[in-house]
Homo-oligomer: A and B are copies of this chain.
Amino acid sequence: MAVDTNLAFRNYDRKVLYSCPAFEVVQCEWKKNSSSPMHNHGSSDCYVLVEEGLFEESVRSGLEISTSFRKSGQVIHTPPFSSHDLICKSDYARTVHVYVPPLSKDQLGNRFSSPDQSEKLNFFEPLSRPGISRDAFSSLLDEVRNQSVSVHSEYFMNQLFSGLLPESIAVSRIVASTKATLATREASPVFSLAENEVVFALSQALGWDPRKSNGLAVPGGSAANFMGLHCARQRVLPSARDEGNQGHRFRVFVSEESHYSWKKGCLALGFGLNAAIPIRADARGRLIPEQLQVELTKSRLRGEVPLLVGATAGTTVTGAFDPIREMHSVCRDQDVWLHVDAAWGGPAIFSNSAKHLMNGVELADSLSFDAHKLLGASLTSSIFITQHKHILLEANDVAATYLFHDNEDFGDRGRLSWQCGRPADAFAFWSIWKRYGSDGFGRFIDRQMDLQKSFVQLLKESGPRIKLLHEPEFLNVCVQVLPPEDQQDVASWSRHVRQSLLESNQAMINFSVNPQGVSFLRFILAHPHLEIVQLRKIVQWALEVQ
């Protein structure tokens, strides 16, 4: 996937005006219908000024493929990790291209494994040594980027995100160069409004009444689950605000397939690990509501205090969606808080093909949503949201007069938070939502769901050594690879395949191990530019592993 500069520019005269390690300025002259092929700019910013003439530009940037016309005086900016092509539509045209840094400096290849970087970067030189020059610092940052895992690659599916949205990169610069802290509205007028709007729009998208909902950005999906526990405690035991847990044996009911952050939350909030009661899941990884009923009843009989039931919308391994509506019936009968951990699967609400998976979410008390996973925002862009409008303030506000001045209107979002200084984490989500709209999100997810169907078909046609573990519900596809020869260890083979693909820098796919000790690959179809052709290659490579 490296940029071939010979191929990338053809059918027109190209003159390099200036070239140096930091930038390149190129002038091109075009005739009618001369064109550049679709090319990816990697981590370079590309600016093209149309000095004269008319162009049609097709661009693949983030979640969108679009075509537009550009005439004299206009500038085409292709942000990092975007592809575009240009076709000259006038008899003659002239353009000036500025690349920062030059295209040839780009790293578009795949780097998934890099054992030696510690030596090379000299990380273990004590930081207490004298500083380094600006130039050396700049080179060091280049090296850091080059030594990092290639999350921009279609072959990266190790996390529940893949690919880079150029909007997120642009936003990160705005966030850094305004250094706004969300504690007070006065210090971050724009970003406070953006966070507020994200919460408003998300509550609408969930089918909640936005006027009765409240929420905020928190530092990760785990923190959103923590906040669910905290709000549920405030509701069950309002005196916890002054007196703490008071020896109540709070219990939290989550699927055995749920995220480990529930356990961490029980540690942090003073409930202890024994407070997390795992509920059995079915073969596809979905919590069994009858089991929930049984465990809740048993817990009450033991004199414990059921605090919260956590439904998972999109489990980490299999992408299973717990039956929210059925779980709500149990919670309603037993008067227990229902939280939905939709960190991974939440965006399904925008999609025609997947929104049924979120059925019943309109009934939840609270929810975790990560825009940095499927929707491509920067890490972290997590929202905690609840239908109990005042609970966040009741549970968290300890207004400090020096910071939260009473002459300001009620927009100081720090009152809702565990954080004081807090970056504009919701702004990337706001920006991406503004840019693509709910419809854009929906089209993107529908596309990925179509890809999942094609991939399942491909797997079924890939012969006896490829075993689909179960029909996927969402964008996780779990696949066992059997060894080429009978005498090899079946249980560990998929893990071996994973490690081999990783070390050869072909693909980075996470694995898991089922209760029987059998390892399998977990494909994540999150990259917006992922096509069946790449998936076919991975399957082929997996079968070739020795």
Contacts and interface: CB of A to CB of B under 8 A. Distances in A.
Given A25-B98, A164-B177, 18 more contacts: A18-B49, A22-B98, A43-B177, A66-B134, A77-B138, A121-B193, A126-B201, A159-B181, A159-B421, A161-B179, A222-B421, A240-B272, A242-B272, A244-B249, A245-B270, A259-B420, A380-B422, A401-B513
Contact of A434 (B132, B172, B244, B418): B132
Contact of A176 (B169, B226, B401, B407): B169
Interface centre among A18, A230, A250 (most CB of B within 10 A): A18
A180 to B, nearest CB: 6
Chain multiplicity (copies): 2
Contacts of A8: none
Closest 6 CB pairs of A and B: A247-B247, A270-B270, A244-B272, A172-B176, A219-B219, A131-B437
A47 B22 contact: yes
B134 A431 contact: no
A121 B80 CA distance: 25
Interface stretch (A183-191, A449-457, A528-536): A183-191
Nearest to A160: B421
Interface string A414-431: 000011111100010011
A20 B446 CA distance: 39
A297 B437 CA distance: 60
Contact of A242 (B121, B264, B273): B273
A171 interface: yes
Contacts of A151: 178-180
Contact of A379 (B114, B147, B181): B181
A108 to B, nearest CB: 12
Contacts of A20: 47, 49, 73, 75
A497 to B, nearest CB: 14
